[in-house]
Amino acid sequence: MTDPLPDHEPLRVAVLGAGTVGADVLRLIRLNGEELAHRIGAPLRVIGIAVQDVSKDRGEHVDHALLTTDASALVREADLVVEVMGGIEPARGLLLEAIENGASVVTANKALLAQDGVTLYEAADEHGVDLHFEAAVAGAIPLVRPIRESLAGDRIQRVLGIVNGTTNYILDAMARTGAAFEDALARAQELGFAEADPTADVEGHDAAAKASILASLAFHTRVGLQDVHCEGITSVTSADIAAAARMGRTIKLLAIVERIADAEGTERISARVYPAMIPSSHPLASVGEAYNAVFIEAEAAGSLMFYGQGAGGAPTASAILGDLVTVARQRVLGGVGPRESRYADLEIVGIGSLRNGFYLSLTVQDRPGVLAEVAGTLSAHGISISTIHQEPLPQAEGTEDRARIGIATYAAAESSVDSALDVLDSSGAVIAIDSVLRIEGE
Ligand code: NDP
Ligand code: HSE
């Protein structure tokens, strides 16, 4: 470095959490401190690291002398607070305390932002500080900043993609190597992708939290977790994955937020997360392991694709450091960055009013007339079949002949598919409705 270090007093940084992400944040601050000081115009000084257990070994980059269990005292001394502890409380209380004390904050906590981001945005506004959260959506991939800033002059129509690394890792392993769901999940946990409670990943709640953040930013409307239709991957079976492959499709957990205009031109929005079959030729189908990929479709920009590491310590720390440099620079120069924008206040529609293609897998009695009955029920609900596949199932002792029918449909109203499934469920010919998956991207 040829230039002398900036002659500015150090900015005091409190780091809340030193787990998978926090340890990498601390490593990057330590290794790149001098360069960061040049980019910011002031050095960063980590004044403390809040954890639960100060005796744990955290590797060479975490200064044990800075560890504390008194996070509240720590945030009161800081100019900048990085929250990577996760969970709702005490993270929310600590971030509010930091904001009320005039600190700018950076967080990776999508669960908190989706559940009660409003309180944090309003507090940051009131106290004139920055609240940045690039790492909360899709790890290392820049999405928040492109939507909030780069596309601020455009109109976003749709954001669609894979935003959860753990579930993508599981589905990819099940499809490629035939791994069992539980084994793939355990490996994702070992690799540091999964949430502290991996239910948040596999039940789709983590992706739904990200969808709520993306929808709020893209459509200038407050979209909470409760507004996102959410289905996870726990009911996806290896039979579904094999059926998808047979049809030239791949199953991915998708987050979709979109603007929908009716015949009168009234705009509403939809936000949803579910596992879906997509054509194996679709760019999202080849996104493997814990990678994430997201398409943003905007009126003037057209379609933009973002791809990269969506989880893991170092990738997530990269996004946090980007935010940290931004908020630190603002502090040196004065002023604050973009605020929450919710002027559009668009109505959010439920999933029942949408249309989708579906894949239905049914176990049925293997006797004449059953296929006709199933097809008749679908037809009576205005659902048109695009392909159908039937195979006999091994017969268990004392039971009737059974078969599995896999049906792909053309786009149909969600409410019609629900009604048709109710009828099929109570039909004597249908032994079980094994799977219901949406078909997207065709
Ligand atoms: P970890 O569980 O690995 O780390 C959490 C850290 O916070 C630990 O150091 C823990 O202390 C500390 N902590 C937890 N509760 C408290 C508390 N009450 N008081 C003080 N310290 C506390 O989580 P991750 O690093 O994986 O995730 C952190 C955040 O980043 C979460 O919000 C997560 O959603 C988000 N995120 C994670 C990604 C990932 O790939 N892991 C990617 C993107 C975002 P101790 O070590 O003593 O237990
Ligand atoms: N558990 C999350 C995932 C971490 O698997 O994508 C990144 O947000």
- Domain CATH for 151: 3.30.360.10
Give domain status of residue 342, yes or no. no
- Of 189, 231, 186, the closest CA to residue 208 belongs to 231
Cα 21 to ligand 1 centroid, rounded to whole Å: 7
69: Cβ contacts below 8 Å, ≥ 6 apart: 50, 51, 52, 54
What is the model's pLDDT at position 96?
A: 98
Cα 109 to ligand 1 centroid, rounded to whole Å: 9
Please give the backbone phi and psi of residue 396, each rounded to the nearest 5 degrees, phi first: -80, 150
Which among 27, 55, 70, 85 is the best mutation to test ligand 1's pocket, defined by most ligand atoms within 8 Å of the CB? Answer: 85
Pocket of ligand 2 (CB under 6 A): 139, 164-166, 193-195, 201, 206, 310-311
Give domain status of residue 18, yes or no. yes
> Does 162 share its domain with 301?
yes
Cα 1 to ligand 2 centroid, rounded to whole Å: 36
Give domain status of residue 339, yes or no. no
> Does 169 share its domain with 287?
yes
Distances (CA, A) of 132 to 105, 144, 263, 329, 420: 6, 9, 38, 13, 45
Give the residue ranges of the chain where pLDDT is below 50. none
Pocket of ligand 1 (CB under 6 A): 17-22, 50-53, 56, 71, 84-86, 90, 108-110, 135, 139, 192-193, 195-196, 311-312, 316
Cα 201 to ligand 2 centroid, rounded to whole Å: 7
> Does 182 share its domain with 282?
yes
Cα 251 to ligand 2 centroid, rounded to whole Å: 18
How many Å apart are CA 377 and CA 387, to the nearest integer?
16
Ligand 2: which atom is nearest the Cα of residue 316?
A: 7
Give domain status of residue 343, yes or no. no
Give domain status of residue 98, yes or no. yes
Q: What are the DSSP E strand ranges found in 233-352? A: 249-261, 267-279, 291-298, 302-309, 347-348
Which among 166, 190, 203, 273 is the best mutation to test ligand 2's pocket, defined by most ligand atoms within 8 Å of the CB? Answer: 166
How many Å apart are CA 388 and CA 408, to the nearest integer?
6
How do residues 98-119 score in pLDDT, each as one tens digit? 999 999 999 999 999 999 999 9
Instruction: Determine which residue's CA is closest to atom 11 belonging to ligand 1.
Output: 51
230: left (phi over 0), alpha (psi -120 to 50) or beta: beta
> Does 366 share its domain with 397?
yes
In this structure, which ligand is nearest to the CA of 108?
Answer: 1
- The residues carrying an active-site annotation are 210
What is the model's pLDDT at position 251?
A: 98
Which among 16, 21, 66 is the best mutation to test ligand 1's pocket, defined by most ligand atoms within 8 Å of the CB? Answer: 21
Instruction: Determine which residue's CA is closest to atom 28 belonging to ligand 1.
Output: 84
How do residues 175-185 score in pLDDT, each as one tens digit? 999 999 999 99
> Does 60 share its domain with 193?
no
Cα 224 to ligand 1 centroid, rounded to whole Å: 22
> Does 16 share its domain with 95?
yes
350: Cβ contacts below 8 Å, ≥ 6 apart: 229
> Does 161 share its domain with 298?
yes
Would you say how long the chain is, in residues? 442
**Number of folded domains that form the chain:** 3
Instruction: Determine which residue's CA is closest to atom 3 belonging to ligand 1.
Output: 19
CATH number of 427's domain: 3.30.70.260
Last residue of a domain, one of 333, 366, 401: 333
Ligand 2: which atom is nearest the Cα of residue 207?
A: 6
Give domain status of residue 183, yes or no. yes
Q: Are 291 and 140 in contact (CB under 8 A)?
A: no
Give domain status of residue 375, yes or no. yes
Instruction: Determine which residue's CA is closest to atom 7 belonging to ligand 2.
Output: 311
> Does 406 share its domain with 262?
no
Please give the backbone phi and psi of residue 74, each rounded to the nearest 5 degrees, phi first: -65, -45
What is the model's pLDDT at position 1?
A: 54
Ligand 1: which atom is nearest the Cα of residue 85?
A: 7
Q: The domain containing residue 40 runs over which residues? A: 11-139+314-333
> Does 249 share its domain with 156?
yes
What is the model's pLDDT at position 397?
A: 74
> Does 81 share its domain with 229?
no
Cα 196 to ligand 1 centroid, rounded to whole Å: 7
> Does 293 share its domain with 319?
no
Q: Are 299 and 154 in contact (CB under 8 A)?
A: yes
Give domain status of residue 208, yes or no. yes
Q: Are 82 and 51 in contact (CB under 8 A)?
A: no
Q: Is the peptide bond before 10 cis (omega within 30 degrees of 0)?
A: no
> Does 152 share its domain with 101?
no
Distances (CA, A) of 243 to 21, 84, 161, 404: 37, 40, 22, 11
